[in-house]
Structure 1
Amino acid sequence: MALHLIKLCVGCESPEQLEGWIEDRLALRRQLGDPVEQIHTTRMVPRRMEELSGGSLYWVIKGMVRARQRLLEVRPFTDAEGIGRCHLVLEPKLIRTEWQPRRPFQGWRYLKPEDAPPDADEAGGDDTLPDDLKRELHDLGLL
């Protein structure tokens, strides 16, 4: 099984907001005549790039893993200051996952397949509850 990455989605309140950001960035790339692909730039280059083939980037939103995107490619590059960086090329489709709590961390981390939450549709989760109620029930240990 493929290795995954996990990262905080700082400033994002919900998967819906992240979807809006993705659409906005794709529209801007279209407008500028750039290739229409979603790229997330990171400061660190994964050393285990080969293991990431077929993996995903899992997004932590407000303390919970809430969604993932398939990782299509990892493109290391050197910026104008000579610092090694990395473009993560992602499939622009956001896949909801079951909620999984995560403490804050910096940058990205590797995520083993067995530690990744299942997709929400595969787990048969109840998506009818509002997010704030779902979070409160989770904090109370009822979900």
Structure 2
Amino acid sequence: MTVHLLKLCVGIDSVEHLIEVRRGRQQTLPDGTPYNYHITRFTPKRAEDVLDGGSLYWVIKGFILVRQRIIGFEPVKTDNGTKCKIILDTELIRTESQPRRPHQGWRYLEPADAPKDIPDGGKVEDLPTDLRQDLQELGLI
């Protein structure tokens, strides 16, 4: 049964900012597939369910706005012990805006509770910058 992860996107101001940061973290799997990653403290106990089509839903400024498909998990050694590297597809898929309260770490997100994808990526590039920022602050885009 598929389940998703929900994570706060700390230090990110907008979906565009996340895209920019993710571009700088792109790596390549041994088979040549590009991927992004995020390091977190714990590996999900329901990893098998997450890998069955799950995504990482990003909360930006108090709203779920975008998701990335989860490709895999791998342990990674750090100065603070072994952590979990969440391997993500490079494509960011915009979702309907959904408010979320702050929390630490990640949370499971059941498919029934996940926001729907916005068709065609919800492109808002043609909006004036001020209007786009106001709509983002309201969680409307």
Deviation, structure 1 residue 68:
0.0
Partner of 2:36: 38
Identity within the alignment, %: 46
Deviation, structure 1 residue 133:
3.3
**Which deviations, in whole Å up to 9, do the C-alpha atoms of 1:35-70 show, x marking residues without a partner?**
853111100111111111110000000000000000
Partner of 2:111: 113
- Does residue 22 of the first structure (1) align with residue 29 of the second (2)? no
Deviation, structure 1 residue 77:
4.1
Count of paired positions: 131
Partner of 2:12: 12
- Structure 2 gap ranges (5+): none
2:84 corresponds, among 83, 86, 105, to 86
Deviation, structure 1 residue 84:
3.4
- State the structure with more CA Rg: 1
Which protein is richer in helix relative to its size? 1
Task: Measure the CA separation in 1 of the matches of 2:90 and 2:134.
Answer: 26
Q: Is the 8 A contact 1:45 1:84 kept in 2?
A: no
Change (3 A) 1:89 1:130: same
Secondary structure of the corresponding residue to residue 106 of structure 1: coil
Q: CA RMSD in A?
A: 2.8
Q: Is the 8 A contact 1:37 1:90 kept in 2?
A: yes
1:92-107 aligned at under 5 Å gives the runs 92-107=90-105
Partner of 1:141: none
Which protein is richer in strand relative to its size? 2
Deviation, structure 1 residue 121:
1.3
- Does residue 61 of the first structure (1) align with residue 60 of the second (2)? yes
The residue identity in structure 2 corresponding to 1:119 is D
The residue identity in structure 2 corresponding to 1:71 is I
Using structure 2 for the length normalisation, give the TM-score.
0.80
1:133 corresponds, among 107, 132, 135, to 135
Using structure 1 for the length normalisation, give the TM-score.
0.79
Change (3 A) 1:136 1:37: closer
Task: Measure the CA separation in 2 of the matches of 1:135 and 1:78.
Answer: 37
